[in-house]
């Protein structure tokens, strides 16, 4: 029997990514859509052929009414970064499973508080699960690259370079909460947690970050508070590497490169290049399933159907992604002052 799901959010990502992924999942059945306005809820539901219920704050049926429904067991929360926490908390309190969009919260302190509350209240809240969506963990290109890294021996270095030139007419920029961000870092946080998740996945479970230092700046006035960040990170194994990202540059990217004792592996969009020291360089195109959201939603549904928590979607994983970006921003504010990582291993929250 499929799990009844409500989609919470009326934005671009909810409509273009979450909605079709829910409809395609064998374990999930869409029951309702909620948005702040009935207009945006209808917009998301425009291409849904099955009968579903719409909820909004400008009608008589709002978010709290969804939480009262016994036929809805789970929610996907796809709201602006600064708005998500109260929706997550109230859904879990109502005994609903939650998959919320990244990051885990607007900042590390809020994320830690919510994670602690989640574990403390788990029994009271009917042992429902809270997962945080991070589609980079479901990109086949990164999975394949990780397999190749494991063949090349000890990791000895890394570099990440993710560059773009965000224009004011870009559809994601046109959303009000991104155009006038109240969350730290603006696009550097919004996109940056994807990039740190990708790096952490490539390095694997035995390598984690311990310290970092960064410089930040604002190159374009329409991308406050800062749009460019360059960091050096050190790991528990003693190696170091660089993480560079900007939404306001003509530099080109993206690129994740991991250096190993026996060669290097680079991920650049869907292309993975392996350069072994004792062999020929090989580049393969690895087809990703859209943005990684369809397999992400499938995995969540499969875990719910099995009565388990998906280990790739724990809030602790998302906290580790978030912490790296926040510490880079703090270091940048302090002219490169080194920062100590505290939430990079399992159970550190």
What pLDDT score does 349 carry?
Answer: 66
pLDDT at 217 over 80: yes
Tell me what percent of the residues of the chain surpass a pLDDT of 90.
93
Same domain membership, residue 102 and residue 83: yes
Note the pLDDT of residue 179.
85
Q: What's the CATH number where 250 sits?
A: 3.30.360.10
Same domain? 171 vs 22: no
* pLDDT over threshold 70, residue 263: yes
The pLDDT of residue 348 is above 70: no
> In terms of Cα–Cα distance, which of 91, 126, 133 is closest to 6?
91
Q: Is the pLDDT of residue 282 over 90?
A: yes
Q: Which domain holds residue 55?
A: 3-135+293-313
Per-residue model confidence (pLDDT) at position 175: 86
- Domain co-membership, 128 together with 234: no
Asked whether residue 349 is domain-assigned, the answer is no
pLDDT for the residue numbered 174: 85
Is the residue at 248 inside a domain?
yes
119-134: pLDDT as tens digits: 999 999 999 999 999 9
Q: Residues 185, 224: one domain?
A: yes
Please write the tens of the pLDDT for every residue from 6-45: 999 999 999 999 999 999 999 999 999 999 999 999 999 9
300 and 159 share one domain: no
Per the structure, how many domains does the chain have? 2
Note whether residue 9 is domain-resident.
Answer: yes
Q: Do 45 and 146 have their domain in common?
A: no
Question: Does position 154 have pLDDT exceeding 80, yes or no?
Answer: yes
- pLDDT on residue 259: 98
Residue 31 inside a domain? The answer is: yes
Q: 336 and 191, same structural domain?
A: yes
Return the pLDDT at 19.
97
Strand-pair category, 97-101 with 28-35: unpaired
Mean pLDDT over residues 280-293, rounded?
96
Statement to judge: residues 187 and 336 lie in one domain: yes
What helix, strand, coil percent values describe the chain, rounded to 5? 35, 25, 40
CATH number, domain containing residue 16: 3.40.50.720
- Residue whose C-alpha is closest to residue 19's, from 60, 48, 50, 55: 48
Tokens representing residue 189 in the block = 């946080």
* Same domain membership, residue 189 and residue 279: yes
Asked if 61 and 119 sit in the same domain, the reply is yes
Domain shared by 40 and 97, yes or no: yes
In a domain, residue 348? The reply is no
Cα–Cα dist 172/16, whole Å:
12
Tokens of 233: 């990170």
**CB neighbour list of residue 334: distance below 8 Å, 6 or more residues apart:** none
Of the listed ranges 45-54, 273-282, 287-296, the one predicted with least confidence: 45-54
Does 80 reside within a domain? yes
In a domain, 263, yes or no: yes
Within a domain: residue 347? no
Taking residues 89-99, report their average pLDDT: 98
Task: Please indicate, yes or no, whether residues 309 and 228 belong to a single structural domain of this protein.
Answer: no
When pLDDT is averaged across residues 74-84 and rounded to a whole number, the result is 96
Report the chain's C-alpha Rg in angstroms.
Answer: 20
């Amino acid at each position: 029997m499929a799990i009844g799901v409500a989609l919470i959010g009326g934005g671009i990502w909810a409509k273009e990514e979450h909605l079709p992924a829910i409809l395609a999942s064998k374990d999930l059945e869409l029951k309702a859509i909620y948005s702040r306005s009935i207009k945006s809820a209808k917009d998301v539901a425009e291409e849904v052929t099955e009968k579903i219920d719409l909820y909004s704050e400008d009608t008589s049926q709002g978010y709290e009414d969804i939480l009262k429904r016994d036929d809805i067991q789970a929610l996907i929360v796809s709201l602006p970064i600064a708005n998500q926490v109260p929706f997550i908390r109230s859904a879990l309190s109502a005994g609903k499973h939650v998959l919320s969009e990244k990051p885990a919260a607007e900042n590390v302190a809020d994320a830690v508080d919510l994670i602690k509350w989640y574990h403390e209240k788990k029994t009271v809240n009917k042992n429902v699960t809270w997962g945080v969506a991070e589609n980079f963990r479901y990109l086949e290109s990164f999975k394949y690259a990780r397999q190749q890294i494991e063949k090349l021996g000890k990791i000895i270095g890394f570099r990440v370079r993710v560059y773009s030139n965000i224009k004011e007419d870009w559809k994601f920029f046109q959303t009000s909460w991104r155009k006038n961000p109240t969350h730290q870092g603006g696009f550097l946080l919004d996109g940056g947690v994807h990039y740190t998740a990708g790096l952490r996945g490539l390095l694997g479970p035995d390598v984690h970050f311990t310290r970092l230092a960064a410089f930040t700046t604002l190159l374009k006035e329409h991308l406050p508070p800062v749009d460019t960040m360059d960091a050096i990170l050190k790991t528990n194994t003693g190696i170091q590497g660089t993480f560079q990202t900007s939404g306001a540059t003509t530099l080109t990217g993206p690129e994740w490169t991991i250096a190993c004792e026996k060669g290097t592996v680079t991920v650049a969009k869907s292309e993975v290049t392996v350069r072994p020291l004792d062999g020929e360089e090989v580049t393969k195109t690895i087809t990703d399933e859209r943005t990684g959201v369809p397999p992400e939603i499938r995995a969540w549904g499969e875990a719910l159907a099995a009565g388990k928590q998906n280990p790739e979607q724990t809030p602790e994983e998302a906290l580790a992604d978030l912490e790296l970006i926040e510490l880079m921003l703090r270091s940048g504010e302090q002219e490169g002052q080194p920062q100590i990582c505290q939430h990079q291993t399992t159970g550190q929250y």
